Chain A
Amino acid sequence: MEKFDVIITGAGLAGLAAAYTLAGEGVEVVVLERGDYPGSKNVSGGRIYVNPVRDLFPGLWEEAPLERAIVREGATLMARNRSFTFHYTGSELRTGQPQSHSILRSKFDRWFSERVEERGGMLLPKTLVSDVIRENGKIIGVIAGGDELRADVVIACDGALSLIPEKAGLRSPGRAHDNAVGVKEIIQLDPNLINDRFSVGDGEGSAHLFAGDITKGLFGGGFLYTNRDSVSLGLVISIEDIAKEEAAGDIPALFEAFKARPEIEPLIRGGTTVEYGAHVIPEGGYRALSRLYGDGILVAGDSAGFALNLGFTVRGMEYALASGHYAAKAVIEAKKAGRYDAATLAAYQKFLEDSFVLKDFQTFQDTPRVLSNPHLFGHYPELVGNLLRDLYTVPAGPKSPIFTTLRRHLTLSQLWTILKDAREVTKI
């Protein structure tokens, strides 16, 4: 029977980050990946923020196959028949090291796995981990492709469904309330056309988020990221809401309607869709995190629930990279101590608490609840749209005073609602 120092289940960002750090310290590590190659089962919206993880992986970023540096941010409130958009750009986004890039995970993860192999990490693709092996309550290995593989410690990085931690008894199955589904098309477009349509230069990109009628009032939103020679167009919707609200229709139809919106269609016109992907996204924040360690096991990345939606930023990849890295650090300490029990592996939680990972999750623990306010996805986009319509309209006859127009929309009861919602927003 094969025995390794460390088994990692899943060659996504968390798993590869853990393997990269471990292999760098000379620890014997094998990454088990069910896809044909790392990245082949991974779907992300496609935007990574490098600052939080730059120093954890020195030298990695210069060569990394990233798409475009994001220099232009956009957000659109979508009402049924109109919309309100703002853009932000700034010299801070165009000078020095870019803070964020668009990214295609099948390319990036494959490249990252080659860096892991260069360091001596082992990679076993086409290998599904179906269960953990337990002995006296301790995890001592996994069942992979029907074979038993043993290790001192298993790092579960198997993604949002988190089946390995569930089998290890660290969590119950994911709940609809804490998860969304994201669907995405990769649409190929000429790079010059991308530059022109999104007002960016070569190597520069734009990131745009959309909220409102595109989800028919359900929690969620759309995104449009520019890659080198394609765009990633996606829609994210709460699984609890799509399960509950029959009137909203189905996910494929909602996505097609989003694509056909006059705000979107001209941007992707003439493009060729080359791939259609989908994935579950953890949205529950701090309160929905899995237990992070047990006897002989650690949990990192989406598998732990490390994805955080703050409305303006939707992040998961930095948390995956950092949690994988800190899981590796905890394993290195455990190896020195020669013990892999929960008490020793608890060092992982301490590393995370001292880092941006758990600090962010604690800071933003109320955000998922505040952002799930249905007013944000229906009422406010309509209100803003109607207000703008009336301000911009020039009628045949005399125009009402601006203040009258404002008051027609912002009635006392309306202002009271806004005030109540605003008080909630102070918690994010």
Chain B
Amino acid sequence: MTDLKAKLGLNVFKPLPAPHIKIRAGMERDPRLKAAVRGCPAGLYSVNEKGEFVLAIDGCLECGTCRIACGTEVLEWSYPEGGAGVQFRFG
């Protein structure tokens, strides 16, 4: 996991004023979020000690996998505002 953090650290990220993706209130234990834990390329989804899914938005690559995998009933999903978030130099 530290390797992944280091790898994400290679990217250019501009600060996110607010999280652009949120687990909807009451959906923290929804099993559909398991797919995001496995599918998120940045490893941003995990399960906390209370057994709830949590999302740490820093390092988000804005790839869209979690929206497709979990759906918008579970996730409140939008892109960050203009000029924020990851800025690919190679693409």
- Once the chains bind, are B88 and A41 in contact (CB under 8 Å)? yes
Known: A273-B7, A278-B61. A176 touches B68 (CB 8 A): yes
Contact of B91 among A109, A239, A242, A255 (CB under 8 A): A109
What CA separation (Å) do A279 and B67 show in the bound complex?
12
Question: Restricting to A73-107, which residues have a CB under 8 Å from any CB of B?
Answer: 104-107
Q: Is A192 interfacial (CB 8 A cutoff)?
A: no
Residue on A nearest B81 in the bound complex, by CB: A128
What CA separation (Å) do A251 and B71 show in the bound complex?
19
- Once the chains bind, are B35 and A251 in contact (CB under 8 Å)? no
Question: Restricting to B13-60, which residues have a CB under 8 Å from any CB of A?
Answer: 14, 34-35, 37-43
- Once the chains bind, are B82 and A181 in contact (CB under 8 Å)? no
What CA separation (Å) do A160 and B62 show in the bound complex?
11
- Once the chains bind, are B82 and A176 in contact (CB under 8 Å)? no
What CA separation (Å) do A255 and B3 show in the bound complex?
12
Q: How many residues does chain A have at the interface if contact means C-beta atoms less than 8 Å apart?
A: 55
**A106 to chain B: which residues have CB within 8 Å?**
88-91
What CA separation (Å) do A176 and B36 show in the bound complex?
12
- Once the chains bind, are B69 and A239 in contact (CB under 8 Å)? yes
**B71 to chain A: which residues have CB within 8 Å?**
173
- Once the chains bind, are A39 and B7 in contact (CB under 8 Å)? no
Distance to closest chain B CB from A130 (angstroms)? 7
What CA separation (Å) do A80 and B11 show in the bound complex?
32
Residue on B nearest A185 in the bound complex, by CB: B7
Distance to closest chain B CB from A217 (angstroms)? 14
Question: Restricting to A251-277, which residues have a CB under 8 Å from any CB of B?
Answer: 251-252, 255-256, 273-277
- Once the chains bind, are B89 and A128 in contact (CB under 8 Å)? no
**A35 to chain B: which residues have CB within 8 Å?**
82-83, 87-88
**B7 to chain A: which residues have CB within 8 Å?**
185, 273, 276
Contact of A278 among B38, B41, B79, B87 (CB under 8 A): B41
Kindly name the residue among B10, B38, B85 whose own CB sees the greatest number of chain A CB atoms within 10 A.
B38
- Once the chains bind, are A126 and B82 in contact (CB under 8 Å)? yes
Give the interface size bracket for B toward A: 35 or more
Contact of A173 among B40, B61, B67 (CB under 8 A): B67
- Once the chains bind, are B39 and A242 in contact (CB under 8 Å)? yes
- Once the chains bind, are B82 and A127 in contact (CB under 8 Å)? yes
What CA separation (Å) do A280 and B39 show in the bound complex?
11
What CA separation (Å) do A276 and B40 show in the bound complex?
13
- Once the chains bind, are A278 and B65 in contact (CB under 8 Å)? yes
**A173 to chain B: which residues have CB within 8 Å?**
67-68, 71-72
- Once the chains bind, are B42 and A278 in contact (CB under 8 Å)? yes
- Once the chains bind, are A125 and B65 in contact (CB under 8 Å)? no
**A255 to chain B: which residues have CB within 8 Å?**
41
- Once the chains bind, are A181 and B38 in contact (CB under 8 Å)? no
What CA separation (Å) do A266 and B22 show in the bound complex?
41
Residue on A nearest B78 in the bound complex, by CB: A130
Kindly name the residue among A43, A106, A277 whose own CB sees the greatest number of chain B CB atoms within 10 A.
A277
- Once the chains bind, are A276 and B8 in contact (CB under 8 Å)? yes
Q: Is A36 interfacial (CB 8 A cutoff)?
A: yes
Contact of A242 among B69, B78, B87, B88 (CB under 8 A): B69
Distance to closest chain B CB from A167 (angstroms)? 11
Known: A173-B72, A246-B38, A252-B41. A275 touches B83 (CB 8 A): no
Known: A43-B61, A251-B38, A273-B10. 12 other contacts (CB 8 A): A34-B80, A42-B88, A106-B89, A161-B64, A163-B79, A181-B39, A186-B90, A250-B43, A251-B39, A251-B41, A275-B10, A279-B61
Binding site for B on A (CB under 8 A): 34-37, 39-44, 46, 104-109, 125-128, 130, 145, 160-161, 163, 173-176, 179, 181, 183, 185-186, 230, 239, 242-243, 246, 248-252, 255-256, 273-280
Q: What are 25 A-B pairs at a CB distance below 8 A?
A: A35-B88, A36-B83, A37-B87, A39-B88, A40-B87, A40-B89, A41-B87, A43-B91, A104-B90, A176-B68, A176-B69, A183-B41, A246-B38, A250-B40, A252-B4, A252-B42, A252-B43, A255-B41, A273-B7, A273-B10, A275-B10, A276-B8, A276-B41, A277-B63, A280-B68
A-B interface, 7 closest residue pairs, ranked by CB to CB distance from nearest: A126-B83, A105-B91, A243-B35, A278-B41, A106-B91, A278-B63, A126-B82
